[in-house]
Amino acid sequence: MLSDVSSASRGWVSGAAVTGEPAGGRAAEAWDVGAAGRVVVEGLRWRPFGRREPVLDGLHLTIPAGQRVLLAGPSGSGKSTLLRALGGLLEVADAGELSGTVTIDGVVAGSRPGAVGLVLQEPGAGIVAATVGRDVAFGPENVGLPRTEMPARVDAALAAVRLGKPLDTPTGALSGGQTQRLAIAGALALEPSVLLLDEPTAMLDPDNAAAVRATVEEVADRHHLTTVVVEHVLGPWVDFADRLLVLDAGGQIVADGPPRDVLAEHGDSLAAQGIWVPGAAAPTPVPLPRTAFGSDLTMEKSAGSRDISPDVRHFSVTADPGQGAPVLAAEHVRVERRESLLGGETRATLALEDATAYGRSGELTAIVGPSGSGKSTLLLALAGLIPTVAGRTTDRGLSSPDLARLLAWVPQWSSSTIVARTVLDEALVTSRALGLDEAVCRARAETLLRAVGLWDLRNADPRHLSGGEQRRLAVVGALVHQPRALLADEPTVGQDRLTWASVMGVVEAYRETGGAVVVSTHDQAVVDRAHAVVRLATPDSPPPEPISRRPLVSRAGPLSLLAGALLSIPAGIASPGWRWSLVVLAVQAVLAVVGLSTVGGEGGRPAGRIKRVALRMVPGLIGSLSVGWSTWLLGGHDLGLAATGVLRVLVIVFPSAVLVPYVDPDALGDQLAQRLHLPARPVVAMSAALQRLHTFGAIRAEITGSRRVRGLGGRRGPGAIAAALSALTIGLLVRSLGAAAELAVAMDARGFATATRRTWWASAPWRTADTVVVISAAVPALVAVLAAAGVL
């Protein structure tokens, strides 16, 4: 029903597909002959709906096969847009007017799956599967490569990026740099001729960034790839690139040539446009008027009330070498993150171990370390927004307004935390929630918005701003009410020299008037300005204990487990009266004990199986009692009737509590497609979405945490609850939609658009255990049906 019957005949770049012939007949460069990966762009014009001016307008460009191009330009110049156009991916997740042609070796870009490999900025944005092997195999699956040929292809791709991990390594367990190298491996598995990289190292620490650059250079060499890299920061790529292309704010090519020549000729003007040119001195934060931050409003407000950060008083200043008075503190903090495993077990991994940081009045503290080392977690601990296993943090019990007066927090993703409908209102959210003087705050908001270049957009909808603009707005909104501390997660990512100078100007002005600033960052220019630097290393989690003794049910596949759970419905419905329901429930309980027992194998038994089933029964228990109560109320206070109602629900729910935790999303996809022959693409989309399920907890925490910090949390009454609920709903949906759009681009770059006849990395066998599960689950249903028929 959902199959895509026609996509095979659809060009991805529909506008371009019809208009153009490949630009033949031009003098080919020497290295062009015989090699693949020649890219020709002719008259490319792209205007997304909703914008008056095109982002790209009449662009012409020829990239000879094997050339390495560094693509630069100020924010909003259309670099990423051009990169996606080169892959034929412009219309995957946006709609607009497209004309002109993009061809690769004479063929319309996007028409051969995998001709172009794409690596996105955010590590993990393009991850499709739960394990490393399956993720690399995604492209080969889409083009129908036989399963027997896949392991060799996958091994070769992983070896090329030097990712020597077992194929069943969870993709979520990789560092940011490893994840980017996995993305490159995923592209290489389709043997591309062109590799496109969209700021591949922007979110990585220096070591991981260097490893990714080395990998790019190595695979480009070995596979003779035409390579196009979009970057803000040119320095590290200058030696790699043969050619530097610079776009201006209007999407026109303004400089084109060997990198050193272009930089020698245009370096100053490029720096003036905001491009991070190698060799240029770090920009200076733009100073704000002395009056920008004046009388401390929140301090006045809270004067005379209780100390809003009581824990902090306990930290003796002698214990650390800093100068400023500590406003926030996290000492010897240990934070565990719980991961859900198959079977409902959870495994604790260390997010932070023995970490200490202070936010000091008038000082800038930088938290640095590789991705996964817990920088964001330490910020949350400083904000008192996260439970810790050990150590002392800022008071976690502060009310929302007290918390807002004490500190502001700018999370990495500010788009899902926007609450107002204009930029100016968004900047004033917290000061209004705290009831501060509107005139003073409005004037300050104007000063700050002017400083970061957003004043002209003050009436625009903040959700329509670019990511970089939203980040700057979030910093302004954090400081208008002048809290005592600012915590910011990577505040300078994606900023060019000009916007960097403006946003750091605001932060520095705030700090100079006594604000405590703590940032997590990879940005050396920020680290250089810090008074204190906290270096984090990735905490060593103890290796999980190998459990070789698995419960019997874990041998069954997803389909039989779901069938077993669903067979409880006829069992519940058919049971005549509470006595028979009790018998059926007893049969189910016996089967559950057998299914959850471990037979054979060595090593430790999985712990807490019974407890987990009990925990998962809690909602069902409440639901059944509710049904029983309402039945009792209606049925003339007949206890028998009520008991029947209660037991019916329990019979329906109990098998699910036992069986459903053992359903693995990837295996479910395998079985739905290969056993039930459901259409492949919807099944894969479902598996890809399900394996992101665990990220939603963090999104929820970010949305609710951000509301608390902004003074919007904790208010009572139906209105406030409705506002919180709708903010959470919309925030979750916005982030899901954004993730879906990014993933769509990555998946189409790997041939998913035309993958109606795909092959599968893993088989989906129906085992004896599956048959046993289904037959066993049929027993209680049979008992109930026979009892209802009067046979028993």
Partner 1 sequence: MSTNTKAQASVPLGRGRSILATRPLMGWRTVDLLTVAFLGVAFGILYWAWALAYQAPSNGLAAIFPPLQGITGAPWLMAGVVGGLVVRRPGAALFCELIAAVVEAIPGSTWGAATLVSGALQGLGAEIGFAVLGYAAFGLGAAVLAGALSAPLEAIYEWSAYWTDWGMGYKVAYAVILTAAGAVIAGGVGWLLTRALAAGGALNAFPPGQEVREARAV
CB of 792 to partner 1, least distance (A): 20
Using the minimum distance from each CB to partner 1, give the nearer residue, 104 or 423: 423
Residues numbered 211-250 forming contacts with partner 1, rule: CB under 8 A:
none
CB of 471 to partner 1, least distance (A): 14
**By CB under 8 A, residue 615 contacts partner 1:** yes
Using the minimum distance from each CB to partner 1, give the nearer residue, 364 or 712: 712
CB of 559 to partner 1, least distance (A): 12
- Strand, helix or coil for residue 545: coil
**By CB under 8 A, residue 125 contacts partner 1:** no
Task: Give how many residues touch partner 1 by CB under 8 A.
Answer: 95
How many C-alpha atoms does 610 have within 13 Å on its Cβ side?
Answer: 5
Distances (CA, A) of 423 to 18, 456, 531, 677, 709: 42, 10, 32, 50, 19
- Torsion over CA of 782, 788, 790 and 791, rounded to 10 degrees? 0
Using the minimum distance from each CB to partner 1, give the nearer residue, 502 or 520: 502
| Of 329, 378, 649, 727, the one binding partner 1 by CB under 8 A | 649
Using the minimum distance from each CB to partner 1, give the nearer residue, 18 or 537: 18
CB of 462 to partner 1, least distance (A): 9
CB of 355 to partner 1, least distance (A): 30
**By CB under 8 A, residue 460 contacts partner 1:** yes
CB of 96 to partner 1, least distance (A): 9
What is the per-residue burial (b if ≥16 Cβ within 10 Å, else e) of 87-120? bbbbbbbbebebbbbbbbbeebbbbbbbbbbbbb
Q: What is the largest CA-CA distance in the chain?
A: 95
Residue 131 bridge partners (DSSP): 170
Q: Which helix (H) or strand (E) holds 188?
A: helix 176-188
Structure tokens at 351: 């997010």
Residues numbered 26-55 forming contacts with partner 1, rule: CB under 8 A:
48-53
**By CB under 8 A, residue 11 contacts partner 1:** no
- Distance, in Å, from the CA atom of 138 to the CA atom of 624, rounded to the nearest integer, reads 44
Cβ neighbourhood burial of 774 (10 Å; 0-12, 13-18, 19+): middle
Contact window for partner 1 (CB under 8 A) among 153-161, 456-464, 508-516, 767-775 = 456-464
**By CB under 8 A, residue 626 contacts partner 1:** yes
Residues numbered 317-346 forming contacts with partner 1, rule: CB under 8 A:
344
236: which residues sit within 8 A by CB, 6+ positions away? 201, 209, 210, 213
**By CB under 8 A, residue 5 contacts partner 1:** yes
CB of 686 to partner 1, least distance (A): 5
Residues numbered 551-580 forming contacts with partner 1, rule: CB under 8 A:
562, 565-566, 568-569, 572-573
Using the minimum distance from each CB to partner 1, give the nearer residue, 209 or 673: 673
**By CB under 8 A, residue 724 contacts partner 1:** no
| Of 323, 466, 524, 597, the one binding partner 1 by CB under 8 A | 466
| Of 165, 223, 463, 579, the one binding partner 1 by CB under 8 A | 463
Report CA 272 to chain centroid distance, whole Å: 33
Contact window for partner 1 (CB under 8 A) among 3-11, 274-282, 427-435, 705-713 = 3-11
Terminal-to-terminal C-alpha distance of the chain: 43
**By CB under 8 A, residue 482 contacts partner 1:** no
Structure tokens at 760: 């599968």
**By CB under 8 A, residue 635 contacts partner 1:** yes
Cβ neighbourhood burial of 582 (10 Å; 0-12, 13-18, 19+): middle
How many C-alpha atoms does 670 have within 13 Å on its Cβ side?
Answer: 19
Give phi and psi for 716, each to the nearest 5.
Answer: -100, 175
CB of 49 to partner 1, least distance (A): 5
CB of 178 to partner 1, least distance (A): 24
- Strand, helix or coil for residue 698: helix
| Of 341, 420, 440, 689, the one binding partner 1 by CB under 8 A | 689
Contact string 691-710 vs partner 1 (x = CB under 8 A)? -xx--x---x----------
**By CB under 8 A, residue 522 contacts partner 1:** no
Closest listed residue to residue 297, CA positions, set 519, 479, 172: 479
Q: Using alpha carbons only, how large is the chain's radius of gyration in Å?
A: 29
| Of 179, 495, 644, 706, the one binding partner 1 by CB under 8 A | 644
Residues numbered 740-759 forming contacts with partner 1, rule: CB under 8 A:
740-741, 743-744, 747-748, 752-753
| Of 738, 778, 779, 788, the one binding partner 1 by CB under 8 A | 738
**By CB under 8 A, residue 591 contacts partner 1:** no
Distances (CA, A) of 286 to 188, 232, 554, 713, 728: 44, 20, 61, 34, 36
Contact window for partner 1 (CB under 8 A) among 56-64, 116-124, 387-395, 611-619 = 611-619
791: which residues sit within 8 A by CB, 6+ positions away? none
CB of 723 to partner 1, least distance (A): 13
Q: Which helix (H) or strand (E) holds 732?
A: helix 718-749
Residues numbered 92-111 forming contacts with partner 1, rule: CB under 8 A:
92-95, 97
| Of 223, 549, 555, 616, the one binding partner 1 by CB under 8 A | 616
CB of 361 to partner 1, least distance (A): 36
Distances (CA, A) of 187 to 71, 666, 751: 20, 21, 10
- Distance, in Å, from the CA atom of 684 to the CA atom of 313, rounded to the nearest integer, reads 54
| Of 23, 28, 210, 457, the one binding partner 1 by CB under 8 A | 457
**By CB under 8 A, residue 688 contacts partner 1:** yes
Closest listed residue to residue 584, CA positions, set 644, 649, 641, 651: 651
| Of 28, 325, 732, 779, the one binding partner 1 by CB under 8 A | 732
**By CB under 8 A, residue 639 contacts partner 1:** no
Using the minimum distance from each CB to partner 1, give the nearer residue, 443 or 779: 779
DSSP notation for 143-187? TT--GGGHHHHHHHHHHHTT----TT-BGGGS-HHHHHHHHHHHH
Report CA 743 to chain centroid distance, whole Å: 10
- Strand, helix or coil for residue 287: coil
Contact string 275-304 vs partner 1 (x = CB under 8 A)? ------------------------------
**By CB under 8 A, residue 733 contacts partner 1:** yes
Residues numbered 66-85 forming contacts with partner 1, rule: CB under 8 A:
76
Closest listed residue to residue 329, CA positions, set 273, 272, 285, 393: 393
Contact window for partner 1 (CB under 8 A) among 268-276, 278-286, 492-500, 660-668 = 660-668
* Helices 206-222/176-188 angle, 10° precision: 10
Alpha-helical (H) ranges within 548-608 are 558-566, 568-574, 577-596
CB of 566 to partner 1, least distance (A): 5
Contact string 382-421 vs partner 1 (x = CB under 8 A)? ----------------------------------------
CB of 728 to partner 1, least distance (A): 8
Contact string 154-183 vs partner 1 (x = CB under 8 A)? ------------------------------
Using the minimum distance from each CB to partner 1, give the nearer residue, 534 or 652: 652
Instruction: Decide if 234 contacts 223 (C-beta within 8 A).
Output: no
What is the per-residue burial (b if ≥16 Cβ within 10 Å, else e) of 532-554? bebebeebeeeeeeebeebbbbb
Contact window for partner 1 (CB under 8 A) among 17-25, 263-271, 440-448, 634-642 = 634-642
